């Protein structure tokens, strides 16, 4: 622990094992330099974690060990001659160029930093690893080992665990590319046990992490409800003169209408992305994600939002007779029912209206032609689709480990064609009532800010977001 009371952890290990990746994920910092070429990190660099303007924990990125056997040998010789063998080693080798990185990486340990030792658990234990672990043991500092497997192989995990037992009182499997929020918290919980003196401070760190996360979820819920209100109430109005080509004007209005709604949605998603500190890299979503489909595509409307029966109920059609009739009418073509209910295929989800301008006068002159309006949204299914897309986006964002710089294809188990993929189909009738009330307000020209319906929907979202955070990703 540092004199300033901020717990400090040095992330150390062999070159190219994933030290910087682990740090990037733990500190939620995508500015950390990561590379497939060993020797990317050459100097120690602190990465503070700041919550509410206060630094609560600090991780130090360090270069990898270059000469672990030689360091160990020197440290063993220094034992008994001084209390500060690390300091003495650094002094003795300060001007030896080949030890430059070794001297550098040991610096935070002279300040009493806790140690997080990172190894790639998908390869076997070697002699140099044992030398490194022995060096760390000789420092006498609180330490934890992390198995970060770069490949899927688990053949060597037991070997590593056995080795760790000799030198570390705490070790964890932690995947820098796939760790979720829940796994980050679990790692911090484990870190508590490296030293009794650190327990209280780390409890404070965990509490700060958790409440910061809850705050981000509340902000996300507000962003989503705001986006919904904006999209649902959105309208475009245009005056058309007598004899104008109404069909092409309508097509043009529809295009602009959809484009602007896409923009409102995408802006909200980007806001969520930066809330979760993904600032630099614009990762691509997994190849099979339904989010690759356009908001207005048939697949989107088929796989997200309310189930067919829920839609029938929401449309007020009710009754087994109607359901059966629809079934018969749409046999073999499940999409048909969405059209029947004013779904995307019928393009009836947005209201068209027109007003005769013949009697409207400006400065005493009668106006000819008509006023055409598209919007607000008419089909409540659209609300659920926007909700599902936001929730799926949120789930990807929070599970994008910051240390991961690309998506490995084919990871997801979620099979888009075998099941519905949205969240809202699971919502109970209380939640759906809140959605209906919110929809009515937003599309009825009433303000949806600060109303009971808005507050209720926000709370439902906060609970849903927390549930997604606590669940295992795909
Ligand atoms: N698939 C996979 N690759 C990983 C993981 N962790 C690290 N890598 C990759 O391994 C390489 C090295 O990662 P770094 O985090 O830069 O490793 P480092 O230990 O900091 O390396 P130096 O700074 O060079 O000592 C990069 O190409 C990473 O993308 C992981 O959990 N899964
Ligand atoms: Mg590095």
SS3 per-residue string spanning the chain? CCCCCCCEEEEEECCCCCHHHHHHHHCCCCCCCCCCCCCCCCCCEEEEEEECCEEEEEEEECCCCCCHHHHHHHHHHHECCECCHHHHHHHHCCCCHHHHHHHHHHHHHHCCCEEEEEECCCCCCCHHHHHHHHHHHHHCCCEEEEECCCCCCCCCHHHHHHHHHHHCCEEEECCCCCCCHHHHHHHHHHHHHHCHHHHHHHHHHHHHHHHHHHHHHHHHHHHHHHHHHHHHHCCEEEEECCCCCHHHHHHHHHHHHHHHHHHHHHHHHHHHHHHCCCCCCCCCCCCCCHHHCCCCCHHHHHHCCCCHHHHHHHCCCCCHHHHHHHHHHCCCCCCHHHHHCCCHHHCCCEEEEEEECCCCEECCEECCCEEEEEEEECCCHHHHHHHHHHHHHHHHHHCCCCCCCCCCCCCCCCCCCCCCCCCHHHCCHHHHHHHHHHHHHHHCCCCCCCCHHHHHHHHHHHHHHHHHHHCCCC
Please identify, by atom number, the ligand 1 atom nearest to the C-alpha of residue 36: 27
Nearest CA to ligand 1 atom 1: 150
State residue 398's pLDDT score. 92
Tell me how far the alpha carbon of residue 95 lies from the centroid of ligand 2, in angstroms.
Answer: 23
State residue 365's pLDDT score. 62
pTM: 0.88
State residue 363's pLDDT score. 63
Q: Which of 247, 290, 256 is nearest to 421 (CA)?
A: 290
Q: Which of 72, 77, 470, 439 is nearest to 233 (CA)?
A: 439
Provide the β-strand partners of residue 45. Answer: 61
Pocket test for ligand 1, best of 10, 15, 16, 27 (most atoms within 8 A of CB): 16
The set of protein residues with a Cβ atom below 6 angstroms from ligand 1 is: 13, 15-21, 34-36, 38-41, 63-64, 148, 150, 175-177
Nearest CA to ligand 1 atom 25: 15
The alpha-carbon radius of gyration of the chain (Å, integer) is 29
Tell me how far the alpha carbon of residue 363 lies from the centroid of ligand 1, in angstroms.
Answer: 72
Q: Nearest 5°: CA angle at 271, between 270 and 277?
A: 90
Please identify, by atom number, the ligand 1 atom nearest to the C-alpha of residue 37: 24
What is the number of the ligand closest to the CA of 122? 1
State residue 346's pLDDT score. 43
Sign for the pseudo-dihedral over CA of 267, 272, 275, 279: negative
Q: Which CATH homologous superfamily contains domain 8-176?
A: P-loop containing nucleotide triphosphate hydrolases (3.40.50.300)
Structure token digits, residue 9: 């952890």
Please identify, by atom number, the ligand 1 atom nearest to the C-alpha of residue 17: 19
State residue 162's pLDDT score. 95
Nearest CA to ligand 1 atom 17: 18
d(CA 464, CA 466): 5
Please identify, by atom number, the ligand 1 atom nearest to the C-alpha of residue 404: 29
Tell me how far the alpha carbon of residue 248 lies from the centroid of ligand 2, in angstroms.
Answer: 58
Residue 468: other Cβ atoms inside 10 A: 19
Tell me how far the alpha carbon of residue 118 lies from the centroid of ligand 2, in angstroms.
Answer: 11
d(CA 367, CA 369): 7
Give the length of the chain: 474
Please identify, by atom number, the ligand 1 atom nearest to the C-alpha of residue 40: 24
Pocket test for ligand 1, best of 10, 32, 35 (most atoms within 8 A of CB): 35
Tell me how far the alpha carbon of residue 9 lies from the centroid of ligand 2, in angstroms.
Answer: 15
**CB-based contacts of 27, cutoff 8 Å, min separation 6:** 47, 48, 49, 59, 402
State residue 433's pLDDT score. 92
Average pLDDT per block of 10 residues along the chain, 474 residues long = 81 97 95 93 95 94 98 97 96 96 97 96 96 97 95 92 93 93 92 90 93 97 97 93 87 94 97 93 80 86 78 57 48 44 53 74 67 89 94 92 73 48 90 93 78 95 95 64
Pocket test for ligand 1, best of 18, 183, 184 (most atoms within 8 A of CB): 18
Tell me how far the alpha carbon of residue 122 lies from the centroid of ligand 1, in angstroms.
Answer: 12
**Ion ligand 2, residue ranges at CB < 5 A:** 19-20, 40-41
Pocket test for ligand 1, best of 20, 21, 65 (most atoms within 8 A of CB): 21
Domain layout of the chain by residue ranges: 8-176, 216-306+349-470
Please identify, by atom number, the ligand 1 atom nearest to the C-alpha of residue 42: 23
């Amino acid at each position: 622990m540092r004199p300033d009371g901020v717990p400090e952890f040095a992330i150390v290990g062999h070159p190219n094992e994933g030290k910087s990746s682990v740090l990037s994920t733990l500190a939620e910092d995508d500015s950390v330099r990561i590379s497939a070429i060993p020797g990317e990190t050459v100097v120690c660099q602190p990465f503070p974690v700041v919550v509410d303007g206060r630094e609560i924990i600090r991780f130090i990125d360090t270069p990898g060990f270059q000469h672990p056997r030689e360091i160990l040998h020197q440290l063993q010789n220094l034992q008994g001659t001084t209390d500060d063998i690390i300091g003495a080693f650094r002094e003795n080798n300060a001007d030896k160029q080949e030890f430059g990185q070794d001297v550098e990486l040991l610096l935070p340990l002279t300040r009493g930093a806790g140690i997080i030792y990172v190894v790639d658990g998908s390869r076997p234990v070697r002699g140099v690893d044992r030398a490194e672990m022995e060096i760390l043991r000789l420092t006498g500092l609180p330490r934890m080992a992390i198995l970060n497997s770069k490949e899927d192989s688990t053949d060597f995990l037991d070997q590593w665990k056995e080795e760790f037992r000799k030198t570390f009182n705490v070790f964890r499997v932690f995947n820098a590319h796939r760790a979720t929020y829940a796994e980050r918290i679990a790692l911090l919980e484990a870190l508590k046990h490296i030293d009794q003196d650190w327990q209280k401070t780390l409890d404070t760190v965990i509490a700060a992490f958790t409440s910061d996360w809850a705050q981000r979820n509340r902000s996300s819920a507000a962003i989503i409800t705001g986006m919904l209100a904006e999209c649902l109430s959105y309208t475009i109005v245009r005056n058309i003169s007598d004899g104008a080509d109404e069909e092409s004007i309508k097509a043009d209005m529809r295009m602009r209408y959809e484009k602007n709604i896409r923009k409102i949605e995408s802006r909200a998603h980007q806001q969520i992305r930066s809330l979760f500190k993904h600032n630099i890299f614009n990762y691509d979503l997994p190849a099979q994600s339904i989010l690759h489909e356009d908001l207005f595509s048939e697949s989107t409307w088929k796989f997200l939002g309310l189930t067919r029966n829920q839609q029938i109920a929401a449309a007020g059609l009710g009754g087994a007779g109607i359901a059966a009739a629809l079934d018969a009418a749409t046999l073999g073509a499940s999409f048909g029912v969405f059209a029947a209910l004013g779904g995307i295929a019928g393009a009836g989800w947005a209201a068209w209206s027109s007003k005769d301008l013949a009697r409207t006068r400006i400065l005493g002159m009668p106006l000819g032609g008509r006023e055409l309006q598209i919007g607000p949204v008419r089909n409540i299914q659209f609300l659920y689709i926007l909700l599902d897309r936001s929730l799926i986006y949120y789930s990807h964002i929070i599970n994008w480990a910051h240390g991961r710089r690309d998506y490995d294809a084919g990871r997801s188990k979620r099979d888009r064609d075998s099941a519905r993929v949205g969240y809202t189909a699971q919502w109970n009738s209380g939640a759906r009532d809140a959605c209906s009330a919110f929809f009515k307000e937003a599309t009825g020209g009433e303000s949806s800010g600060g109303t009971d319906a808005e507050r209720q929907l926000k709370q439902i979202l906060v609970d849903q977001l927390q549930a997604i955070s606590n669940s295992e990703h795909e």
